[in-house]
């Protein structure tokens, strides 16, 4: 069989074999092609890359360290668990890597207004932060249901100068906010750039977001080399899939096992989960072809996860392709297992992870118990400060 060069995708039309592409209205084709051209010319230039590197270093706080979690490694068996500390980034997660890159690109394109969609509010906060940094007007679309659930992040965005627009259509959550943002973009494309927060959406977004997040994988490769270790297994959680592809992509052509962890919610058999790669089927959502959760009439199904950041009925098209050709294994972890992992890392290593990240950790702990002498590199995508309220209320407390 011919060996696939995984790094040569997508093709020029944004396809990862039968996934990806641009399933959008005619009016969106022009802004998407302008964005593609600008991205290839501006963002790939040496001067842009140099400036971005400086911003990531001095503003975001990169490189993030790799931490050998020796205490839990020993307690679980004889594997070694390494954590790529994206939680130490400015604003507390990997999302800022992409928000900074796209805000810089928008500025270079002469745009003065940024729009974004957000579910839990993490991407909204990262975008509002980058907009404050670059003096860009910022409008964030958010489902009215999510606005109720994420009051602190809504307030943070407002402090940062962003306008938060409530979306009252559909399930009043992330997918509806994304639809609304796309609508705004069509109308205001002259002065506006749309910063999508994950590797979803129509081409070229899955590629752009992946490229900006790949700093995670590139950095970690160098860092592991420096300490003379080779990662045998990579693990990351998958919502839209941006922190996962950011870690995975630089390793795709290497001899390393790769595992993505979806949100199993109450369990796959209950239907209450957010695991399109495990339980969905190929279809079209938000301008691309990918695995999605839809009912027999083609309506998008409601999803459930304890972590708002994984609560999305679709997934980036590159992951769908990597699943089909078996380069990456996609598994699930339930709410309950994620919670256990949350407590375990917090108590044994003094690191409070985001609930999204806790899914990757739960699966890592399983592997560490069942395998021997493997170096497991986990993407610690974000910190858990934002989830403290959720945890407290599960314990019957209000803080």
Ligand X SMILES: *Cc1c(COP(=O)(O)O)cnc(C)c1O
Looking at 10-18, 237-245, 247-255, 340-348, which segment touches ligand X (CB under 6 A)?
A: 237-245
Assess 314 for contact with ligand X (CB under 6 A).
no
Contact status: 116 vs ligand X (CB under 6 A):
no
CA–CA separation, 286 and 194 (whole Å): 13
Residue closer to ligand X, measured from CB, 122 or 290: 122
> Cα(125)–Cα(117) distance, rounded to whole angstroms?
10
Could you give the CA distance from residue 377 to residue 364 in angstroms, rounded to a whole number? 9
Does position 178 interact with ligand X (CB under 6 A)? The reply is: no
Q: Does 288 bind ligand X (CB under 6 A)?
A: no
Residue 317 found at the interface with ligand X (CB under 6 A): no
Is 260 among the residues that bind ligand X (CB under 6 A)? no
* Only segment of 49-57, 107-115, 233-241, 370-378 that touches ligand X (CB under 6 A): 233-241
Q: Would you count residue 356 as binding ligand X (CB under 6 A)?
A: yes
**279 annotated active-site:** no
142 - beta bridge partners? 118, 166
Residue 254 near residue 225 (C-beta atoms within 8 A): no
Q: Residue 250 and residue 15: Cα distance in Å, rounded?
A: 19
Decide if 55 is catalytic.
Answer: no
Residue selected from 15, 95, 203, 273 as contacting ligand X according to rule CB under 6 A: 95
Rounded Cα gap, residues 325 and 354, in angstroms: 30
**Alpha helix positions (H), 274-385:** 276-279, 317-324, 335-349, 355-370
232 token code pair: 């045998």
Terminal C-alpha separation, the chain: 58
Q: Is 237 in the site for ligand X (CB under 6 A)?
A: yes
Which residue of 31, 124, 204, 240 would you call a contact of ligand X, by CB under 6 A? 240
Please say if 347 is a catalytic residue: no
Question: Could you tell me the two tokens for 275?
Answer: 């695991």
The DSSP result for 331-358, as a single string, is: EEEEHHHHHHHHHHHHHHHS--B-HHHH
CB of 122: closest distance to ligand X in angstroms? 4
For position 238 contacting ligand X by CB under 6 A, the verdict is yes
Task: Pick the closer one to ligand X by CB: 122 or 220.
Answer: 122
Q: In this chain, which stretch among 21-29, 340-348, 352-360, 367-375 interacts with ligand X, using CB under 6 A?
A: 352-360
Query: Is 354 among the residues that bind ligand X (CB under 6 A)?
Result: yes
- Give helix then strand counts, H and E, for the chain: 16, 14
In angstroms, the CA 250 to CA 315 distance is: 19
**Total residues at the site for ligand X (CB under 6 A)?**
19
* Length of the chain in terms of residues written: 399
- Closer CB to ligand X, 162 or 189, in the complex: 162
Q: Which is nearer to ligand X, 127 or 242 (CB)?
A: 242
- Per rule CB under 6 A, is residue 384 in the interface with ligand X? no
Nearest distance, CB of residue 46 and ligand X, angstroms: 28
- Distance between CA 236 and CA 364 in Å, rounded? 9
Contact 267, 334 (CB under 8 A): yes
Task: Kindly state the smallest distance separating residue 306's Cβ from ligand X, in Å.
Answer: 13
Comparing CA positions, the residue from 202, 200, 180 lying closest to residue 26 is 202
Q: Quick check: 313 binds ligand X (CB under 6 A)?
A: no
Whole-angstrom Cα distance, residue 70 to residue 75? Answer: 9
User: Using CB atoms, what's the residue nearest to ligand X?
Assistant: 382
Catalytic residue among 55, 73, 84, 95: 95
Of the listed 73, 84, 86, 117, which one is catalytic?
Answer: 117
- The footprint of ligand X (CB under 6 A) covers 93, 95, 122, 198, 237-244, 309-310, 354, 356-357, 381-382
Catalytic residues: 95, 117, 381
């Amino acid at each position: 069989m011919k060996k696939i060069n995984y790094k040569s995708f997508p093709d020029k039309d944004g396809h990862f074999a039968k996934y990806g592409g641009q399933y959008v209205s005619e009016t969106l084709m022009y802004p998407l092609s302008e964005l593609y051209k600008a991205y290839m010319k501006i963002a790939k230039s040496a001067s842009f890359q140099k400036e971005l590197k400086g911003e990531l270093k001095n503003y975001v706080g990169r490189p993030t360290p790799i931490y050998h979690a020796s205490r839990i490694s020993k307690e679980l068996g004889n594997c070694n668990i390494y954590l790529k500390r994206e939680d130490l980034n400015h604003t507390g997660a990997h999302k800022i890597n992409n928000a900074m890159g796209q805000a810089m690109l928008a500025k270079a394109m002469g745009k003065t207004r940024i729009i974004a969609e957000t579910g839990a509010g993490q991407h909204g906060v990262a975008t509002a932060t980058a907009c404050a940094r670059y003096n860009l007007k910022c409008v964030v679309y958010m489902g009215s249901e999510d606005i109720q659930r994420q009051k602190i992040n809504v307030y943070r965005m407002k402090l940062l100068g962003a306008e938060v627009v409530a979306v009252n259509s559909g399930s009043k959550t992330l997918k509806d906010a994304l639809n609304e943002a796309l609508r705004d973009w069509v109308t205001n494309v002259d002065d506006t750039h749309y910063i999508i927060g994950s590797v979803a959406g129509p081409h070229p977004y899955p590629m752009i977001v992946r490229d900006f997040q790949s700093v995670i994988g590139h950095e970690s490769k160098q860092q592991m080399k420096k300490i003379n270790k080779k990662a045998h297994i990579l693990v990351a959680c998958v919502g839209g899939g941006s922190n996962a592809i950011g870690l995975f992509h630089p390793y795709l052509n290497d001899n390393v096992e790769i595992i993505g962890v979806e949100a199993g919610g109450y369990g796959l058999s209950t239907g209450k989960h957010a695991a399109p790669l495990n339980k969905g089927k190929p279809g079209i959502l938000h301008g691309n072809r990918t695995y999605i959760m839809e009912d027999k009439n083609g309506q998008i199904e409601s999803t459930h996860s304890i972590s708002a950041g994984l609560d999305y009925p679709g997934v980036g098209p590159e992951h769908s392709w990597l699943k089909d050709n078996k380069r990456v294994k996609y598994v699930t972890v339930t709410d309950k297992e994620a919670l256990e992992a949350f407590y375990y890392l917090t108590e044994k290593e003094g690191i409070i992870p985001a609930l999204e990240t806790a899914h990757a950790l739960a699966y890592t702990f399983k592997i560490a118990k069942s395998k021997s002498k493997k170096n497991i590199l986990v993407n610690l995508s974000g910190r858990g400060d934002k989830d403290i309220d959720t945890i407290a209320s599960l314990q019957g407390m209000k803080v």
